Structure 1
Amino acid sequence: MPTTTASPEGSRRYQAGRRVTLFAAGINLFLAIIKFTGGIFGHSQALIADAIDSSADLFSDMAVLYGAREGSRAPDSKHPYGHGRVETLVSVFLGAVLLATAAGITLSAAQRLLSSDLLMPPEPATLLVAVIAIGLKEWIYRYTLRVGRETRSRMLEANAWHQRTDSISSLVVLLGVGGSLLGMPYLDPVAAIGVSVLIARVGWQLLWQSVSELADVALSRDRVAAIRAAIRDVEGVHDLHLLRTRQAGPDALVDVHVQVNPHISVSEGHRIAEHIRERLIADLDEVSDVLVHIDTEDDQSFERGRTLPLRADLEQKIRSTIAGLPSAEQVKRVQLHYDADRIGVELHLPLAVTTDTRSAQALAEQLCAPIRLLPNIAEVAVHFVT
């Protein structure tokens, strides 16, 4: 059955995001009300534009809450990589809303500029509203940004910068209203257009980053370099290739091929892979999952080794080749080492089949000689074991 509960980390992130977003929503509701009131009764187009922006903020806060809740859910059978991309989709939506809001404000302000009858000087009280908005928006920006960085939530960080943009837009409103009161009424709609440009800039950046994430764009060069360095520093790693990274909401996913000594055991190779995974998750905050493919060579060329036979066919051929030779039926294990387009073979025989070193060497040569003539065989060794 698929699970819908949040992981411990996801639950912590959601609770922190929910708390700061609800607080921001309350402030945005308050600001929207006083801005609309002040803009309508104070005759300020810039303040009304800022009120529309605050209303969009309230709308976006609700979307952020939804994204934080859904994105914190644990992986399930339908979403084995988790639900982090829900946050990304919400960010795309927020970016589109911001761009649409900016377009509407610009159109309204342009109409006022083109019609002198619509230009009315604002009331002095609108200055006080703008000052209150600047102070509250700057404070909620800092609070939201801190929580976003602590929880590694790009969505919260984007919302924080949105709050900062509102603070700047309120400052533009302050300048526009002030200029209008000094006898330049056209400055108020000009300030409204300035606000819309700031809104559009944030909306475009948010939309572009989120769409890039949906397209599985790699992490930044600095983060990829850090991942590469951490992998190379793990004991047993000879080299690495085909390193791939992608973002999934607040988390990063990593796939990598790692080259190790071709003669170590499968279990040792597995332990190296697990150590790489554990280290990347522990050292790099954003990395949540790592898939490590263990290689004995650089296998970026698809052609290398693709025609080599697998164990069942090759072992049958080896045993049939040495059938009838002394002690051939005593071979306990055939070990295969695939290296590029060649195969190394080890035969394990009981130590009891030999009486001294000279007879062991002679027996080994008798068994190795015909196997060396088989296709794709690079080397053959015989080991006598207890």
Structure 2
Amino acid sequence: MSRSRRATLRRVGLLVLASNVALVLAKGTVWWYTGSLAVQSEAVNSLADSVYSVVTVGGLYLTTQPPDFEHPHGHERIEPFVSLFVALGVFAAGIGVLYQAGRTVLSGNVSVTRNLAAVAVLAGTVVVKYGLYRYVDAIGREHGSPALRATAADNRADVLTASAALAGVVGATLGFPLLDPIAAFVVAFGILYTGVEIVQDNVDYLVGRAPPEDLRKRIVRRALSHPDVEGAHDVIAHYVGPEIDVSLHIEVEGDRTLREAHDIETAVIQSIQALPEVDDVFVHVDPRELGEWKADDEVDRLVQPGDESNR
């Protein structure tokens, strides 16, 4: 992992943490003075965001550590676990808000203090969270960081839930107090949905899901682009943490010297490893005379002509 990537991930984590703490203080203060349930639910949401932001910062510090003797491939595989912890925090916040809103509605004690401060803090939340979502999502995609993408997904949901809370407060201020707890319900379900999204995304990293077909095409085509490679089979690409490991057999003519076979193998490995998503590549060379060349329908499908942009 480059030093610039390490510094960038840590900087983004600290920025998200600072933003969430500031929002907790702002929302908590406004809720204290207005008693708005929607603002309270948003304050709880931001408090949960702050807690998982601390974990994210710690996780990003660990995952950006350089390789060592016990972790020769680095520490990037910690990131999906960090993301799942984020999901746990998101679920806890959603359940808490849902419980509080349900209890308030069932008690019949729905009261709202009309105050422009509630409108202002929620409108400010929408602006801040949208800016964080766009920035963190761009950095997460650029650097292939599951933890940052999980954080971006949470910020995206926060834009929607803060908007719902804002609508509830405005509606209550206009004389419809029931809109306030209804908005809190919307906030709760938005939070829970985000938690489900984060879990789905990161479980794939942990169970070794295959990468998208577009990337598999590029892997196979890079292997076959070498002039001495006649074919490929048994191509396996799967996630190990946020990175991809690849293994494949390449088919070459059997009259190559050992040094030539080694050079072909090395060139194929380097070509595939040049893809930013790929970590380790394992190549087995099959000479024609051993009878190990075989048809591979999946390889044939991936190299069908018509989309040369994937090379």
User: TM-score higher than 0.5 here?
Assistant: yes
Shift of 1:288: 2.3
Choose which of 203, 223, 228 in structure 2 pairs with 1:211. 203
- Partner of residue 200 from structure 1, selected from 186, 189, 192: 192
- The aligned residue for residue 120 of structure 1 is 111
Match of 1:374 in 2: none
Do the aligned partners of 1:218 and 1:246 also contact (CA within 8 Å) in 2? yes
Contact 1:70 1:83 (8 Å CA) reproduced: yes
Aligned pair 1:13/2:1, yes or no? no
8 Å Cα contact 2:205-2:242 kept in structure 1: no
Query: How far, CA to CA, are the matches of 2:66 and 2:6 in structure 1?
Result: 12
Conservation of the 8 A alpha-carbon contact between 2:105 and 2:181: yes
* Alignment partner, residue 285 of structure 2: 294
Residue 259 (structure 2) pairs with residue 267 (structure 1): yes
Closer, same or farther: CA 122–227 of 1 in aligned 2, 3 Å:
farther
| Cα distance, 1:71 vs structure 2 | 1.4
Report whether the alignment pairs 1:338 with 2:308.
no
Conservation of the 8 A alpha-carbon contact between 1:84 and 1:248: no
CA distance in 1, matches of 2:183, 2:113: 12
State the AA in 2 paired with 1:339: G
- Aligned pair partner of 1:281 in 229, 252, 273: 273
Three-state SS of the structure 2 residue aligned to 1:262 is coil
Give the counterpart letter for 1:275 in structure 2.
Answer: A
Q: What SS does the corresponding residue of 1:263 show, helix, strand or coil?
A: coil
Secondary structure, counterpart of 1:213 in structure 2: helix
User: Alignment partner for residue 167 of structure 1, among 155, 159, 176?
Assistant: 159
**Letter in structure 1 aligned against 2:222:** A
Question: Match of 2:71, SS?
Answer: coil
> Following the alignment from structure 1 to structure 2, what is the Cα–Cα distance between the partners of residues 191 and 122?
15
Task: Give the residue type in structure 2 aligned to 1:205.
Answer: E
Deviations along 1:347-366, one digit per CA (max 9) or x if unpaired, are xxxxxxxxxxxxxxxxxxxx
Aligned residues: CA RMSD: 1.8
Which amino acid in the other structure matches residue 287 of structure 2? T
Q: What amino acid is aligned across from residue 188 of structure 1 in structure 2?
A: D
Measure how far apart 1:286 and its partner are.
Answer: 1.1
| Kept in 1: contact 2:235–2:249 (CA 8 A) | yes
Distance 1:244 1:340, change over 3 A: closer
Partner SS state of residue 78, structure 1: coil
Distance, in Å, in 1 between the alignment partners of 2:63 and 2:241 is 8
1:1-386 aligned within 5 A: 7=1, 9=2, 11-117=3-109, 119-124=110-115, 125-282=117-274, 284-296=275-287, 338-340=290-292
Cα offset, 1:110, TM superposition: 0.9
- Aligned-residue offset at 1:120: 0.7
- Matching residue of 1:314: none
Aligned 8 A contact 2:86 2:150 in 1: no
**Match of 1:71, as an amino acid?**
T
Q: Distance in 1 between matches of 2:244 and 2:114?
A: 51
User: CA deviation digits over 1:298-336, x for unaligned, max 9?
Assistant: xxxxxxxxxxxxxxxxxxxxxxxxxxxxxxxxxxxxxxx
Distance in structure 2 (CA, Å) of the matches to 1:68 and 1:170: 27
Give CA-to-partner distance per residue, 1:247-279, whole Å, 9 cap, x none.
234422211111111221222122111111211
Larger fraction in strand: 1
Q: Aligned equivalents of 1:67 and 1:257: distance in 2?
A: 36
User: 1:28 offset after TM fit, Å?
Assistant: 0.9
* CA distance, structure 2, for counterparts of residue 340 and residue 182 of structure 1: 77
Maintained 8 Å contact 1:235/1:272:
no
CA distance in 2 between counterparts of 1:162 and 1:340 reads 49
Conserved in 1, the CA contact under 8 Å of 2:30 and 2:118? yes
Q: CA deviation at 1:86?
A: 0.5
Q: Partners of 2:113 and 2:242 in 1: how far apart? A: 44
Provide structure 2 residue ranges, at least 5 long, that are not aligned to the other structure: 294-311
Amino acid corresponding to residue 246 of structure 1 in structure 2: H
Identical pairs, percent: 29
Q: Is the 8 A contact 1:269 1:294 kept in 2?
A: yes
- Measure the CA separation in 1 of the matches of 2:270 and 2:125: 46
By how many angstroms is 1:94 displaced? 0.9
CA contact (8 A) 1:179 1:185 kept: yes
Change in Cα spacing, 1:274 to 1:149, as seen in structure 2 (3 Å) is same
* Equivalent-residue separation in structure 2 for 1:220 and 1:338 (angstroms): 33
TM-score by length of 1: 0.72
TM-score between the two structures when normalised by the length of structure 2: 0.88
The alpha-carbon deviation at position 172 of structure 1 amounts to 0.8
Q: What is the one-letter code of the residue matched to 1:276?
A: V
Confirm or deny: 8 A CA contact 2:146 2:202 kept in the other structure.
Answer: no
> Residues 340 and 149 from structure 1, CA distance in 2 versus in 1: closer, same or farther, beyond 3 angstroms?
closer
SS where residue 256 of structure 2 aligns? Answer: coil
Partner Cα distance (1:126, 1:159) in 2: 25
Q: Which runs of 5+ in 1 are unaligned?
A: 1-6, 298-336, 342-386
